[in-house]
Amino acid sequence: MATRVPRIAPSEITPPEVYFSRRALLAGALAAGVSTLARGAGSPPAGAAPLEYTANPRYSVSEAPNRYEEITTYNNFYEFGTDKEDPSENARNFQPRPWSVTIDGEAETRGTFTLEDLLKGQPLEERVYRFRCVEAWSLVVPWVGFPLSSLLARFKPTSRAKYVEFTTLYDPHRMPGQRSSVLAWPYVEGLRMDEAMHPLTLMVVGLYGRVLPNQDGAPLRLIVPWKYGFKGIKSIVRIRFSATQPHTTWSLAAPNEYGFYANVNPAVDHPRWSQATERRIGAPFLAARRPTLLFNGYADEVASLYQGMDLRRYF
Ligand code: MTE
């Protein structure tokens, strides 16, 4: 358990628009360069390894993606520091290969598998998803990955498997943020089985057509687009099928602030701030905040998973 309750209050961080203006100025660009004109294209560095994938328009939004730089320099990855720019700096030398993932718990097939083995026979797709952080900022991201359901099916979960628990690498030597007790390490997240098997739930290995950068959770992370970003656990080393609801990192740290479900919901405020609106990273300085959408705009696809549940209680 953390010795100090972590606080991720928007008021305590540099607002993204200020942050990006500063970076743009530092780069010698005009402050106007952070306007919408500069958004859309994005350009991964030439060195990033390209992936083979097909675009999946069925599961993509038509909004313009954020720029590569925005997605890779404004991160939450406390294993590499708590400031937004820390992960891009402190994860630079992290080596995400070789990598293996242990599958255990309520499944017929268990064991430790190399990343290459897990990726075998999984065609990669690009999906442009909305991403809403619990801190009330948002992005649009062209992820590359494959449905979690097709990975899980391979291990033949038993009828006792009601939840899936994910764990991040614990290695304070390679992840310097783990030398501080800001969170209880390793980072753990979880989904109900039907959420894990939903076709929108994605295992991500890439971004902008290239191999996933370290700061975004290399080599393997989860993305659940209708939930707050903290459900999207990074650098996964363990997947466990469980009969009981997993104890997840943020809900252990502050149970009244971060629930297990964490479904994006403009009607259920965080105890310390409103969730009704959000700021799109990279939007012009004076741009209006956007209304936050129920289930982050994916209600048609996922609302039925929560039929009959009180979303205020199961937040
Ligand atoms: N996973 C791990 N292991 N450690 C973290 O600190 N932060 C979470 C989530 N996954 C986090 C994590 C939070 S709070 C968010 S908003 C997203 O990652 C941020 O993902 P991004 O940096 O790719 O935008």
- Total of domains in the chain: 1
The number of the ligand 1 atom at minimal distance from the alpha carbon of 75 is 22
- The β-bridge partners of 125 are 54, 145
Chain-centroid distance of CA 289 in Å reads 21
Out of 72, 77, 237, mutate this one to test ligand 1's pocket (max ligand atoms within 8 Å of CB): namely: 77
What is the domain extent for residue 167?
A: 47-306
pLDDT at residue 8, rounded to an integer? 52
Task: Take atom 22 of ligand 1 and give the residue whose Cα is closest.
Answer: 75
Asked whether residue 29 is domain-assigned, the answer is: no
The number of the ligand 1 atom at minimal distance from the alpha carbon of 71 is 24
pLDDT at residue 137, rounded to an integer? 98
pLDDT at residue 35, rounded to an integer? 33
The number of the ligand 1 atom at minimal distance from the alpha carbon of 135 is 16
d(CA 106, CA 109) in angstroms, rounded, equals 9
pLDDT at residue 120, rounded to an integer? 97
pLDDT at residue 45, rounded to an integer? 87
Asked whether residue 156 is domain-assigned, the answer is: yes
pLDDT at residue 7, rounded to an integer? 52
* CA-based radius of gyration for the chain: 19
Asked whether residue 184 is domain-assigned, the answer is: yes
Asked whether residue 58 is domain-assigned, the answer is: yes
For position 181, which CATH number holds?
3.90.420.10
Asked whether residue 81 is domain-assigned, the answer is: yes
Asked whether residue 101 is domain-assigned, the answer is: yes
CB 264 within 8 Å of CB 291: no
Residues of the chain with pLDDT under 50: 1-6, 9-40
Question: Cα of 242 to ligand 1 centre, how many Å?
Answer: 23
**Could you count the other beta carbons within 10 Å of the beta carbon of residue 76?**
21
Burial class (CB in 10 A: 0-12, 13-18, 19+), 208: buried
Asked whether residue 213 is domain-assigned, the answer is: yes
Task: Take atom 13 of ligand 1 and give the residue whose Cα is closest.
Answer: 230
Task: Take atom 10 of ligand 1 and give the residue whose Cα is closest.
Answer: 233
